[in-house]
A and B are shown apart, each in its own frame.
Chain A
Protein backbone atom coordinates (compact mmCIF):
# COMPACT_ATOMS: atom_id res chain seq x y z
CA UNK A 1 0.00 0.00 0.00
CA UNK A 2 1.20 3.49 -0.83
CA UNK A 3 1.74 5.85 2.07
CA UNK A 4 1.49 9.61 1.64
CA UNK A 5 1.92 12.41 4.16
CA UNK A 6 0.68 15.77 2.92
CA UNK A 7 1.60 18.83 5.02
CA UNK A 8 1.03 16.92 8.24
CA UNK A 9 1.29 18.75 11.55
CA UNK A 10 0.59 17.07 14.86
CA UNK A 11 0.14 18.97 18.11
CA UNK A 12 0.02 17.21 21.46
CA UNK A 13 -2.44 18.53 24.05
CA UNK A 14 -3.80 21.05 21.62
CA UNK A 15 -5.58 24.07 23.08
CA UNK A 16 -3.90 23.69 26.46
CA UNK A 17 -0.96 25.62 27.89
CA UNK A 18 1.15 22.48 27.36
CA UNK A 19 0.52 22.19 23.63
CA UNK A 20 3.58 21.31 21.63
CA UNK A 21 4.18 20.43 18.03
CA UNK A 22 5.60 16.95 17.56
CA UNK A 23 5.48 17.11 13.77
CA UNK A 24 5.35 20.16 11.57
CA UNK A 25 4.40 20.40 7.91
CA UNK A 26 5.67 16.94 7.02
CA UNK A 27 5.25 15.64 3.48
CA UNK A 28 6.60 12.50 1.84
CA UNK A 29 5.53 9.60 -0.29
CA UNK A 30 6.36 5.92 0.17
CA UNK A 31 5.50 3.74 -2.83
CA UNK A 32 4.00 0.34 -2.16
CA UNK A 33 6.60 -2.37 -1.63
CA UNK A 34 9.45 -0.16 -0.47
CA UNK A 35 11.56 -0.59 2.63
CA UNK A 36 11.93 2.78 4.30
CA UNK A 37 14.18 3.65 7.21
CA UNK A 38 13.23 6.59 9.42
CA UNK A 39 16.13 7.95 11.39
CA UNK A 40 16.32 10.69 13.98
CA UNK A 41 17.05 11.34 17.62
CA UNK A 42 14.66 10.78 20.50
CA UNK A 43 12.19 13.64 20.25
CA UNK A 44 12.63 14.12 16.51
CA UNK A 45 9.00 13.12 15.88
CA UNK A 46 9.62 9.58 14.61
CA UNK A 47 7.29 7.90 17.08
CA UNK A 48 4.51 10.38 16.39
CA UNK A 49 5.04 9.87 12.67
CA UNK A 50 4.52 6.12 12.78
CA UNK A 51 1.49 6.43 15.05
CA UNK A 52 -0.27 8.13 12.15
CA UNK A 53 0.17 5.06 9.98
CA UNK A 54 -2.51 3.00 11.73
CA UNK A 55 -4.63 5.83 13.02
CA UNK A 56 -3.33 5.86 16.62
CA UNK A 57 -3.23 9.61 16.13
CA UNK A 58 -5.03 11.72 13.55
CA UNK A 59 -3.10 14.65 12.01
CA UNK A 60 -3.94 18.01 13.57
CA UNK A 61 -3.46 19.54 10.14
CA UNK A 62 -2.82 18.02 6.73
CA UNK A 63 -3.63 14.55 5.46
CA UNK A 64 -2.22 11.05 5.79
CA UNK A 65 -3.14 8.47 3.16
CA UNK A 66 -2.44 4.77 3.60
CA UNK A 67 -3.71 2.76 0.65
CA UNK A 68 -7.39 3.74 0.38
CA UNK A 69 -7.60 5.09 3.91
CA UNK A 70 -7.57 8.84 4.42
CA UNK A 71 -6.84 10.38 7.80
CA UNK A 72 -7.60 14.05 8.35
CA UNK A 73 -8.92 16.11 11.22
CA UNK A 74 -12.68 15.55 11.35
CA UNK A 75 -12.67 12.76 8.77
CA UNK A 76 -11.60 9.42 10.17
CA UNK A 77 -11.83 6.32 8.01
CA UNK A 78 -15.08 4.41 8.46
CA UNK A 79 -13.35 1.34 9.68
CA UNK A 80 -10.35 2.04 11.84
CA UNK A 81 -10.24 -1.68 12.55
CA UNK A 82 -9.78 -2.49 8.88
CA UNK A 83 -6.89 -0.02 8.67
CA UNK A 84 -5.28 -1.61 11.71
CA UNK A 85 -5.60 -5.07 10.20
CA UNK A 86 -3.72 -3.81 7.14
CA UNK A 87 -0.99 -1.97 9.04
CA UNK A 88 0.87 -4.07 11.59
CA UNK A 89 2.99 -2.24 14.15
CA UNK A 90 5.82 -3.79 16.11
CA UNK A 91 6.36 -1.31 18.94
CA UNK A 92 9.57 -0.81 20.88
CA UNK A 93 10.06 -3.66 23.35
CA UNK A 94 6.97 -5.44 21.96
CA UNK A 95 7.29 -8.19 24.56
CA UNK A 96 5.62 -5.73 26.97
CA UNK A 97 2.30 -6.36 25.22
CA UNK A 98 2.14 -10.10 25.99
CA UNK A 99 -0.66 -11.06 28.37
CA UNK A 100 -2.23 -14.41 27.48
CA UNK A 101 -1.79 -17.70 29.31
CA UNK A 102 -0.05 -19.42 26.45
CA UNK A 103 2.14 -18.36 23.57
CA UNK A 104 -0.38 -19.77 21.08
CA UNK A 105 -3.27 -17.76 22.53
CA UNK A 106 -1.22 -14.59 22.52
CA UNK A 107 -0.30 -14.96 18.87
CA UNK A 108 -3.96 -15.66 18.05
CA UNK A 109 -5.16 -12.56 19.91
CA UNK A 110 -4.67 -10.09 17.05
CA UNK A 111 -6.20 -12.23 14.28
CA UNK A 112 -9.18 -13.05 16.54
CA UNK A 113 -9.85 -9.38 17.12
CA UNK A 114 -9.83 -8.82 13.40
CA UNK A 115 -12.26 -11.67 12.81
CA UNK A 116 -9.97 -14.22 11.18
CA UNK A 117 -11.62 -17.70 11.29
CA UNK A 118 -10.20 -20.11 13.83
CA UNK A 119 -8.81 -22.75 11.47
CA UNK A 120 -7.16 -20.02 9.42
CA UNK A 121 -5.51 -18.68 12.59
CA UNK A 122 -4.23 -22.18 13.38
CA UNK A 123 -2.81 -22.48 9.90
CA UNK A 124 -1.09 -19.10 10.17
CA UNK A 125 0.46 -19.94 13.53
CA UNK A 126 1.94 -23.13 12.09
CA UNK A 127 3.47 -21.02 9.37
CA UNK A 128 4.73 -18.15 11.51
CA UNK A 129 6.29 -20.06 14.40
CA UNK A 130 9.20 -21.43 12.34
CA UNK A 131 9.47 -18.14 10.41
CA UNK A 132 10.24 -16.18 13.60
CA UNK A 133 12.58 -18.91 14.77
CA UNK A 134 10.59 -20.34 17.67
CA UNK A 135 10.35 -24.07 18.45
CA UNK A 136 6.78 -25.35 18.15
CA UNK A 137 6.68 -26.86 21.64
CA UNK A 138 6.63 -23.33 23.08
CA UNK A 139 3.03 -22.81 21.88
CA UNK A 140 1.55 -24.28 25.06
CA UNK A 141 3.98 -22.53 27.40
CA UNK A 142 3.30 -19.29 29.24
CA UNK A 143 4.95 -16.37 27.43
CA UNK A 144 6.26 -15.13 30.78
CA UNK A 145 8.45 -18.23 31.21
CA UNK A 146 10.45 -17.49 28.07
CA UNK A 147 13.76 -15.67 27.64
CA UNK A 148 13.70 -12.03 26.59
CA UNK A 149 14.64 -12.86 23.01
CA UNK A 150 11.93 -15.51 22.73
CA UNK A 151 9.29 -13.18 24.18
CA UNK A 152 10.24 -10.63 21.56
CA UNK A 153 9.70 -13.24 18.81
CA UNK A 154 6.31 -14.24 20.22
CA UNK A 155 5.20 -10.60 20.21
CA UNK A 156 6.39 -10.18 16.63
CA UNK A 157 4.59 -13.37 15.62
CA UNK A 158 1.41 -11.88 17.11
CA UNK A 159 1.69 -8.90 14.77
CA UNK A 160 2.61 -10.98 11.72
CA UNK A 161 -0.31 -13.38 12.30
CA UNK A 162 -2.68 -10.60 11.25
CA UNK A 163 -0.99 -10.66 7.81
CA UNK A 164 -0.63 -6.93 7.37
CA UNK A 165 0.28 -5.28 4.06
CA UNK A 166 2.30 -2.59 5.78
CA UNK A 167 4.73 -3.49 8.54
CA UNK A 168 5.85 -0.72 10.87
CA UNK A 169 8.88 -1.54 13.02
CA UNK A 170 9.83 0.77 15.88
CA UNK A 171 13.41 -0.17 16.80
CA UNK A 172 12.53 -3.84 16.77
CA UNK A 173 15.97 -5.03 17.88
CA UNK A 174 16.56 -2.69 20.84
CA UNK A 175 18.15 -4.50 23.78
CA UNK A 176 18.95 -7.72 21.90
CA UNK A 177 22.48 -9.03 21.55
CA UNK A 178 24.19 -8.80 18.14
CA UNK A 179 23.17 -12.22 16.93
CA UNK A 180 19.55 -11.69 18.01
CA UNK A 181 19.55 -8.32 16.26
CA UNK A 182 20.81 -9.77 13.02
CA UNK A 183 18.43 -12.75 13.09
CA UNK A 184 15.39 -10.56 13.63
CA UNK A 185 16.31 -8.00 10.98
CA UNK A 186 17.07 -10.72 8.43
CA UNK A 187 13.71 -12.29 9.18
CA UNK A 188 11.88 -9.01 8.58
CA UNK A 189 13.81 -8.48 5.38
CA UNK A 190 12.88 -11.94 4.06
CA UNK A 191 9.22 -11.38 4.87
CA UNK A 192 9.38 -8.03 3.16
CA UNK A 193 10.74 -9.64 0.01
CA UNK A 194 8.59 -12.77 0.02
CA UNK A 195 5.26 -11.15 0.79
CA UNK A 196 5.80 -7.87 -1.01
CA UNK A 197 5.22 -5.86 2.16
CA UNK A 198 5.68 -2.13 2.55
CA UNK A 199 8.04 -1.84 5.50
CA UNK A 200 8.70 1.24 7.63
CA UNK A 201 11.64 0.81 10.00
CA UNK A 202 12.42 3.30 12.74
CA UNK A 203 16.04 2.83 13.71
CA UNK A 204 19.13 4.43 15.18
CA UNK A 205 21.40 2.13 13.28
CA UNK A 206 22.81 3.62 10.10
CA UNK A 207 24.24 0.18 9.40
CA UNK A 208 20.78 -1.39 9.34
CA UNK A 209 19.47 1.42 7.16
CA UNK A 210 22.27 0.86 4.63
CA UNK A 211 21.78 -2.87 4.69
CA UNK A 212 18.00 -3.14 4.38
CA UNK A 213 16.38 0.12 3.30
CA UNK A 214 15.88 1.39 -0.22
CA UNK A 215 14.71 4.79 0.98
CA UNK A 216 15.74 6.89 3.99
CA UNK A 217 13.96 9.74 5.77
CA UNK A 218 15.94 11.71 8.34
CA UNK A 219 13.81 13.50 10.93
CA UNK A 220 14.89 16.43 13.06
CA UNK A 221 12.77 18.45 15.48
CA UNK A 222 9.51 17.30 13.95
CA UNK A 223 10.38 18.08 10.37
CA UNK A 224 11.84 16.13 7.49
CA UNK A 225 15.53 16.97 7.41
CA UNK A 226 16.71 14.80 4.52
CA UNK A 227 15.23 12.16 2.25
CA UNK A 228 16.53 9.90 -0.48
CA UNK A 229 18.33 6.69 -1.30
CA UNK A 230 20.72 5.52 1.43
CA UNK A 231 23.74 5.97 -0.83
CA UNK A 232 22.72 9.59 -1.47
CA UNK A 233 21.80 10.54 2.07
CA UNK A 234 24.59 8.83 3.95
CA UNK A 235 27.46 10.48 2.12
CA UNK A 236 26.40 13.93 3.35
CA UNK A 237 28.55 13.90 6.43
CA UNK A 238 28.34 17.59 7.31
CA UNK A 239 24.57 17.75 7.02
CA UNK A 240 24.17 14.66 9.20
CA UNK A 241 26.69 15.80 11.79
CA UNK A 242 24.78 19.06 12.07
CA UNK A 243 21.85 17.16 13.60
CA UNK A 244 24.23 15.03 15.66
CA UNK A 245 23.92 11.94 13.51
CA UNK A 246 26.86 9.95 12.25
CA UNK A 247 27.42 8.55 8.81
CA UNK A 248 27.72 4.73 8.67
CA UNK A 249 31.13 3.42 9.72
CA UNK A 250 31.84 2.36 6.17
CA UNK A 251 31.33 5.92 4.87
CA UNK A 252 33.46 7.29 7.70
CA UNK A 253 36.22 5.00 6.66
CA UNK A 254 35.94 5.80 2.98
CA UNK A 255 36.15 9.51 3.80
CA UNK A 256 39.26 9.01 5.91
CA UNK A 257 40.72 6.84 3.21
CA UNK A 258 40.20 9.52 0.59
CA UNK A 259 41.77 12.13 2.86
CA UNK A 260 44.85 9.98 3.39
CA UNK A 261 45.37 8.46 -0.04
CA UNK A 262 43.90 11.27 -2.12
CA UNK A 263 41.86 8.78 -4.12
CA UNK A 264 38.11 8.42 -3.64
CA UNK A 265 36.24 5.14 -3.40
CA UNK A 266 32.61 6.11 -4.00
CA UNK A 267 30.04 4.72 -1.58
CA UNK A 268 27.59 2.54 -3.48
CA UNK A 269 26.36 0.30 -0.68
CA UNK A 270 28.98 -2.16 -1.82
CA UNK A 271 30.00 -5.10 0.35
CA UNK A 272 33.05 -4.94 2.59
CA UNK A 273 34.66 -7.44 0.25
CA UNK A 274 34.24 -5.06 -2.68
CA UNK A 275 35.71 -2.22 -0.67
CA UNK A 276 38.68 -4.40 0.23
CA UNK A 277 39.25 -5.02 -3.47
CA UNK A 278 39.04 -1.31 -4.31
CA UNK A 279 41.53 -0.56 -1.54
CA UNK A 280 43.79 -3.29 -2.75
CA UNK A 281 43.78 -1.67 -6.18
CA UNK A 282 44.79 1.70 -4.80
CA UNK A 283 47.28 0.56 -2.20
CA UNK A 284 49.03 -1.80 -4.58
CA UNK A 285 48.98 0.90 -7.23
CA UNK A 286 46.79 -0.99 -9.73
CA UNK A 287 43.50 0.27 -11.18
CA UNK A 288 40.58 -0.18 -8.79
CA UNK A 289 38.18 -3.05 -9.47
CA UNK A 290 34.73 -2.11 -10.55
Chain B
Protein backbone atom coordinates (compact mmCIF):
# COMPACT_ATOMS: atom_id res chain seq x y z
CA UNK B 1 0.00 0.00 0.00
CA UNK B 2 0.98 3.61 -0.22
CA UNK B 3 2.97 4.24 2.92
CA UNK B 4 4.57 7.48 1.95
CA UNK B 5 1.47 9.57 2.08
CA UNK B 6 1.97 13.10 3.34
CA UNK B 7 -1.02 14.95 4.65
CA UNK B 8 -1.16 18.57 3.64
CA UNK B 9 2.09 20.17 2.66
CA UNK B 10 4.23 19.33 5.66
CA UNK B 11 7.86 18.65 4.80
CA UNK B 12 9.52 16.77 7.66
CA UNK B 13 12.60 18.43 9.11
CA UNK B 14 14.33 19.45 12.28
CA UNK B 15 15.21 23.06 11.59
CA UNK B 16 14.76 25.95 14.02
CA UNK B 17 11.55 26.84 12.19
CA UNK B 18 10.25 23.27 12.47
CA UNK B 19 10.92 23.21 16.19
CA UNK B 20 9.27 26.52 16.99
CA UNK B 21 6.11 26.37 19.02
CA UNK B 22 3.26 26.35 16.50
CA UNK B 23 1.62 29.20 18.40
CA UNK B 24 4.72 31.31 17.80
CA UNK B 25 4.50 30.62 14.11
CA UNK B 26 0.80 31.37 13.90
CA UNK B 27 1.14 34.59 15.91
CA UNK B 28 4.03 35.89 13.85
CA UNK B 29 2.35 35.10 10.57
CA UNK B 30 -0.86 36.71 11.77
CA UNK B 31 0.98 39.97 12.48
CA UNK B 32 3.11 39.67 9.39
CA UNK B 33 -0.04 39.64 7.26
CA UNK B 34 -0.98 43.01 8.79
CA UNK B 35 2.31 44.79 8.67
CA UNK B 36 3.00 43.85 5.07
CA UNK B 37 0.46 46.53 4.21
CA UNK B 38 2.51 49.16 6.03
CA UNK B 39 5.59 48.75 3.86
CA UNK B 40 5.77 51.50 1.31
CA UNK B 41 9.33 52.05 0.24
CA UNK B 42 12.35 50.11 -0.84
CA UNK B 43 13.92 49.80 2.62
CA UNK B 44 10.76 48.68 4.37
CA UNK B 45 10.08 46.09 1.70
CA UNK B 46 13.67 44.91 1.94
CA UNK B 47 13.34 44.37 5.70
CA UNK B 48 10.25 42.21 5.27
CA UNK B 49 11.72 40.31 2.36
CA UNK B 50 14.90 39.60 4.28
CA UNK B 51 12.80 38.33 7.20
CA UNK B 52 10.71 36.08 4.98
CA UNK B 53 13.58 34.77 2.88
CA UNK B 54 15.79 34.06 5.85
CA UNK B 55 13.05 32.05 7.54
CA UNK B 56 12.72 30.15 4.30
CA UNK B 57 16.42 29.36 4.20
CA UNK B 58 16.60 28.45 7.88
CA UNK B 59 13.71 26.02 7.43
CA UNK B 60 15.76 24.13 4.81
CA UNK B 61 12.57 23.24 2.97
CA UNK B 62 13.60 22.54 -0.65
CA UNK B 63 12.75 25.45 -2.95
CA UNK B 64 10.64 23.26 -5.23
CA UNK B 65 8.16 22.55 -2.43
CA UNK B 66 7.83 26.27 -1.80
CA UNK B 67 7.37 27.02 -5.48
CA UNK B 68 4.73 24.30 -5.63
CA UNK B 69 2.80 26.16 -2.93
CA UNK B 70 3.03 29.32 -4.99
CA UNK B 71 1.77 27.85 -8.27
CA UNK B 72 -1.95 28.41 -7.67
CA UNK B 73 -1.36 32.11 -6.98
CA UNK B 74 1.26 32.86 -9.62
CA UNK B 75 -1.45 34.00 -11.95
CA UNK B 76 -2.87 36.39 -9.37
CA UNK B 77 0.52 37.95 -8.71
CA UNK B 78 1.25 38.48 -12.41
CA UNK B 79 -2.27 39.73 -13.04
CA UNK B 80 -2.04 42.38 -10.28
CA UNK B 81 1.29 43.48 -11.63
CA UNK B 82 -0.05 43.96 -15.17
CA UNK B 83 -3.21 45.64 -13.94
CA UNK B 84 -1.21 48.23 -12.05
CA UNK B 85 1.06 48.72 -14.99
CA UNK B 86 -1.86 49.55 -17.25
CA UNK B 87 -4.04 51.51 -14.92
CA UNK B 88 -1.75 53.71 -12.82
CA UNK B 89 -0.86 56.96 -14.54
CA UNK B 90 1.71 58.51 -12.20
CA UNK B 91 5.34 59.46 -12.61
CA UNK B 92 6.89 59.67 -16.03
CA UNK B 93 6.25 57.64 -19.14
CA UNK B 94 9.06 55.15 -19.54
CA UNK B 95 7.68 53.13 -22.42
CA UNK B 96 5.31 54.11 -25.17
CA UNK B 97 3.51 51.36 -27.00
CA UNK B 98 1.35 52.93 -29.66
CA UNK B 99 -1.95 53.10 -27.70
CA UNK B 100 -0.61 52.58 -24.18
CA UNK B 101 1.81 54.60 -22.16
CA UNK B 102 3.49 52.86 -19.26
CA UNK B 103 4.34 55.05 -16.32
CA UNK B 104 7.13 54.51 -13.79
CA UNK B 105 4.56 54.94 -10.99
CA UNK B 106 2.62 51.98 -12.37
CA UNK B 107 5.74 49.89 -12.58
CA UNK B 108 6.70 50.63 -8.99
CA UNK B 109 3.20 50.05 -7.66
CA UNK B 110 2.90 46.88 -9.67
CA UNK B 111 6.13 45.54 -8.20
CA UNK B 112 5.16 46.62 -4.68
CA UNK B 113 1.74 45.00 -4.73
CA UNK B 114 2.97 41.74 -6.28
CA UNK B 115 5.74 41.71 -3.70
CA UNK B 116 3.13 42.00 -0.96
CA UNK B 117 1.27 39.05 -2.35
CA UNK B 118 4.41 37.05 -2.73
CA UNK B 119 5.50 37.70 0.87
CA UNK B 120 2.06 36.86 2.25
CA UNK B 121 1.94 33.57 0.49
CA UNK B 122 5.52 32.69 1.24
CA UNK B 123 5.01 33.24 4.96
CA UNK B 124 1.71 31.38 5.22
CA UNK B 125 3.10 28.42 3.34
CA UNK B 126 6.10 28.47 5.70
CA UNK B 127 3.60 27.61 8.43
CA UNK B 128 2.06 24.66 6.62
CA UNK B 129 5.39 23.45 5.28
CA UNK B 130 7.09 23.27 8.67
CA UNK B 131 4.21 22.44 11.01
CA UNK B 132 2.30 19.15 11.12
CA UNK B 133 -1.47 19.50 10.91
CA UNK B 134 -1.74 18.05 14.40
CA UNK B 135 0.56 20.76 15.80
CA UNK B 136 -1.59 23.38 14.13
CA UNK B 137 -4.64 21.76 15.69
CA UNK B 138 -3.02 21.85 19.14
CA UNK B 139 -2.08 25.48 18.69
CA UNK B 140 -5.57 26.44 17.58
CA UNK B 141 -7.10 24.60 20.53
CA UNK B 142 -4.79 26.43 22.89
CA UNK B 143 -5.25 29.84 21.31
CA UNK B 144 -9.03 29.51 21.19
CA UNK B 145 -9.10 28.44 24.83
CA UNK B 146 -10.51 31.77 26.08
CA UNK B 147 -13.58 31.18 23.90
CA UNK B 148 -14.56 28.32 26.19
CA UNK B 149 -16.01 30.93 28.51
CA UNK B 150 -18.63 31.74 25.90
CA UNK B 151 -19.42 28.00 25.50
CA UNK B 152 -17.52 27.64 22.24
CA UNK B 153 -16.73 23.89 21.84
CA UNK B 154 -12.97 24.35 21.55
CA UNK B 155 -12.01 20.84 22.71
CA UNK B 156 -14.59 19.13 20.51
CA UNK B 157 -13.45 21.13 17.51
CA UNK B 158 -9.83 20.17 18.09
CA UNK B 159 -10.73 16.51 18.63
CA UNK B 160 -12.75 16.52 15.42
CA UNK B 161 -9.84 17.98 13.52
CA UNK B 162 -7.38 15.48 14.92
CA UNK B 163 -9.64 12.50 14.21
CA UNK B 164 -10.17 13.72 10.66
CA UNK B 165 -6.42 13.97 10.21
CA UNK B 166 -6.00 10.50 11.63
CA UNK B 167 -8.53 9.00 9.21
CA UNK B 168 -7.54 10.77 5.99
CA UNK B 169 -4.98 8.10 4.99
CA UNK B 170 -7.34 5.28 5.99
CA UNK B 171 -10.15 6.68 3.87
CA UNK B 172 -7.81 7.31 0.96
CA UNK B 173 -6.74 3.67 1.02
CA UNK B 174 -10.38 2.70 1.21
CA UNK B 175 -11.28 4.87 -1.77
CA UNK B 176 -8.53 3.23 -3.78
CA UNK B 177 -9.77 -0.22 -2.82
CA UNK B 178 -13.41 0.43 -3.61
CA UNK B 179 -12.68 2.12 -6.91
CA UNK B 180 -10.60 -0.89 -7.94
CA UNK B 181 -13.37 -3.26 -6.91
CA UNK B 182 -15.95 -1.32 -8.94
CA UNK B 183 -13.61 -0.96 -11.91
CA UNK B 184 -13.30 -4.75 -11.83
CA UNK B 185 -17.08 -4.89 -12.09
CA UNK B 186 -16.90 -2.88 -15.30
CA UNK B 187 -17.24 0.71 -14.04
CA UNK B 188 -15.28 3.14 -16.17
CA UNK B 189 -14.18 6.17 -14.13
CA UNK B 190 -11.89 7.63 -16.76
CA UNK B 191 -13.53 7.78 -20.19
CA UNK B 192 -16.96 8.42 -21.63
CA UNK B 193 -19.28 11.42 -21.54
CA UNK B 194 -19.35 13.58 -18.40
CA UNK B 195 -22.84 12.38 -17.50
CA UNK B 196 -21.74 8.74 -17.52
CA UNK B 197 -18.66 9.51 -15.49
CA UNK B 198 -20.70 11.41 -12.93
CA UNK B 199 -22.95 8.37 -12.60
CA UNK B 200 -19.91 6.17 -12.11
CA UNK B 201 -19.19 8.02 -8.87
CA UNK B 202 -22.29 6.60 -7.14
CA UNK B 203 -20.90 3.05 -6.75
CA UNK B 204 -17.81 4.64 -5.24
CA UNK B 205 -19.44 7.15 -2.92
CA UNK B 206 -22.18 4.95 -1.45
CA UNK B 207 -19.81 2.24 -0.15
CA UNK B 208 -17.42 4.92 1.06
CA UNK B 209 -20.15 6.61 3.10
CA UNK B 210 -21.43 3.32 4.43
CA UNK B 211 -17.96 2.40 5.58
CA UNK B 212 -17.26 5.85 7.03
CA UNK B 213 -20.46 5.62 9.10
CA UNK B 214 -19.53 2.17 10.30
CA UNK B 215 -16.07 3.37 11.25
CA UNK B 216 -17.52 6.36 13.06
CA UNK B 217 -19.84 4.12 15.03
CA UNK B 218 -17.11 1.69 16.01
CA UNK B 219 -14.69 4.48 16.84
CA UNK B 220 -17.24 6.17 19.07
CA UNK B 221 -17.76 2.89 20.89
CA UNK B 222 -14.01 2.33 21.27
CA UNK B 223 -13.55 5.87 22.59
CA UNK B 224 -16.32 5.39 25.10
CA UNK B 225 -14.85 2.07 26.20
CA UNK B 226 -11.60 3.90 26.80
CA UNK B 227 -13.28 6.32 29.16
CA UNK B 228 -13.90 9.31 26.92
CA UNK B 229 -16.50 11.65 28.40
CA UNK B 230 -15.79 14.98 26.79
CA UNK B 231 -13.13 17.58 27.45
CA UNK B 232 -13.86 18.07 31.15
CA UNK B 233 -11.02 16.98 33.43
CA UNK B 234 -8.78 15.74 30.63
CA UNK B 235 -5.04 16.00 30.73
CA UNK B 236 -2.93 16.19 27.60
CA UNK B 237 0.13 14.32 26.45
CA UNK B 238 1.06 16.70 23.67
CA UNK B 239 2.30 19.81 25.34
CA UNK B 240 3.02 23.18 23.84
CA UNK B 241 5.90 25.00 25.42
CA UNK B 242 7.43 28.38 24.71
CA UNK B 243 11.21 27.91 24.63
CA UNK B 244 14.15 30.27 24.38
CA UNK B 245 14.11 29.93 20.60
CA UNK B 246 10.52 31.19 20.49
CA UNK B 247 11.45 34.26 22.49
CA UNK B 248 14.43 34.85 20.23
CA UNK B 249 12.23 34.69 17.15
CA UNK B 250 9.68 37.04 18.70
CA UNK B 251 12.48 39.51 19.41
CA UNK B 252 13.81 39.30 15.87
CA UNK B 253 10.31 39.86 14.56
CA UNK B 254 9.86 42.86 16.84
CA UNK B 255 13.13 44.30 15.47
CA UNK B 256 11.85 43.82 11.93
CA UNK B 257 8.62 45.63 12.80
CA UNK B 258 10.52 48.45 14.48
CA UNK B 259 12.81 48.72 11.46
CA UNK B 260 9.82 48.83 9.17
CA UNK B 261 8.08 51.61 11.04
CA UNK B 262 11.29 53.63 11.29
CA UNK B 263 12.03 53.45 7.61
CA UNK B 264 8.64 53.62 5.95
CA UNK B 265 7.45 56.91 4.43
CA UNK B 266 4.81 58.85 6.28
Contacts and interface: CB of A to CB of B under 8 A. Distances in A.
Decide if A and B are genuine partners: yes
Interface of A: 12-13, 18, 20, 51, 54, 56, 81, 84-85, 87-89, 91-92, 94, 96-99, 109-110, 112-114, 144, 158-159, 162
15 contacts: A20-B4, A51-B180, A56-B183, A56-B184, A84-B183, A84-B184, A96-B174, A96-B210, A97-B178, A97-B203, A99-B206, A109-B185, A109-B203, A110-B186, A114-B186
Nearest to A19: B4
Nearest to A114: B186
B237 interface: no
B185 A144 contact: no
Interface string B60-95: 000000000000000000000000000000000000
Contacts of A114: 186
A159 B2 CA distance: 26
Interface in B145-199: 174, 177-178, 180-188
Contacts of A158: 185
A110 B4 contact: no
B202 A99 contact: yes
B231 interface: no
A138 to B, nearest CB: 18
A18 B5 CA distance: 9
Contacts of A88: 184
A81 B182 CA distance: 12
Contacts of B8: none
Nearest to B211: A96
Given A96-B207, A109-B203, A162 B181 contact: no
B193 to A, nearest CB: 15
Given A96-B211, A99-B202, A54 B186 contact: no
A162 B180 contact: no
A51 B1 CA distance: 12
Residue of A54, A85, A88, A96 ringed by the most chain B CB atoms within 10 A: A96
A91 B188 contact: no
Q: Which of B178, B181, B206, B211 has the most CB of A within 10 A?
A: B181
Interface string B121-154: 0000000000000000000000000000000000
B2 A97 contact: no
A174 to B, nearest CB: 13
A9 to B, nearest CB: 18
Given A12-B2, A144-B210, A159 B188 contact: no
Contacts of A99: 202-203, 206-207, 210
B185 A96 contact: no
A89 B186 CA distance: 11
